[in-house]
Amino acid sequence: MSDTAPPPAAREDRIDGQRRLDAVLFDFHGTLAMTVDPVAWVTAAAAACGTALDRGRATVLADRIATAGGLPGVAKPGRVPPQLAEAWADRDLYEHAHREAFTGLAATVVTDIPGLAEAVYERILGPEGWQPYPDARPTMAALRAAGVKVGVVSNIGFDIRPLLDAWELTGLCDAIVLSYEVGCIKPDQKIFLRACGMLAVDPERTLMIGDTPADAGAVAIGCSALIVPAASPGRPNGLHRALSLAVAPLPG
């Protein structure tokens, strides 16, 4: 063997499409997709209850419900009522706690629309309540085409697979790890270890992409981490950077 030959790991990178990484893990909310505009969200929920809201009234209601914490992912409540404290603490560990926490917070806003709190929550469970970032699918598809495994790791209290199905992302995922299914929440090391185990990859050859410090908790097990900036629904949020980090040509 020549003294200048690259080490086995480097040669394998070049053989496998010049991969620097074996896997990329994506957070869900705020990374792959964002909830729809709060005013549109509340307007649609009210319509489901048989009430048509004008823009002004919808804006006021959306602001009040968001401030109360009743719109998942929009804003955290400044105060959680004592009767909801346990559900709030467990919202990403149990489906019933997630529903109880958010419907309970939304219900603290007094309205004359029966069932509005429940209708607001129901919007979060289907694709109509979300908008995937435009660079999500192209990035995931390009990674898979380059031989890089793709996983989704989310702190969430309901099944996001129907949403991924609707956006044709399920077939691009090699693993989906949801906090309420595995019983641990980012930044707990166990959730990242579970994802790497499901993908059969070394954490040191894995990148975690998210939008919060909790996602960066993956570095504790040896993963790299990329925190992408917040972006409005419908606008790219920098996910394409994953491709250059994972499969860019190695020097030399």
Amino acid letter, residue 92: D
Phi, psi angle pair for 207, to nearest 5°: -115, 130
Range 76-89 burial, b when 16+ CB lie within 10 A, else e: ebeebeeebeebbe
Q: Which superfamily does CATH assign the domain made up of 8-32+133-247 to?
A: HAD superfamily/HAD-like (3.40.50.1000)
Amino acid letter, residue 222: G
Determine the pLDDT at residue 249. Answer: 61
Can you tell me the mean pLDDT for 60-79? 94
SS3 251: coil
> Does the structure show a pLDDT above 50 at 1?
no
Tokens at 1, concatenated: 């063997």
10 Å Cβ neighbour count for 52? 9
SS3 126: coil
- Give yes or no for a contact between 221 and 23, defined as CB atoms under 8 angstroms apart: no
Can you tell me the mean pLDDT for 4-17? 35
Determine the pLDDT at residue 222. Answer: 97
pLDDT band for position 8 (50/70/90)?
A: very low
pLDDT band for position 91 (50/70/90)?
A: very high
pLDDT band for position 97 (50/70/90)?
A: very high
Can you tell me the mean pLDDT for 101-110? 97
Q: pLDDT of 199-242, one tens digit each? A: 999 999 999 999 999 999 999 999 999 999 877 777 888 898 89
What DSSP state is assigned to residue 3? T
- Domain ranges across the chain: 8-32+133-247, 36-129
Residue 155's nearest CA partner among 193, 121, 123, 183 is: 183
Q: pLDDT of 52-69, one tens digit each? A: 999 999 999 999 999 999
Determine the pLDDT at residue 248. Answer: 65
10 Å Cβ neighbour count for 150? 22
> Does the structure show a pLDDT above 60 at 178?
yes
> Does the structure show a pLDDT above 50 at 10?
no
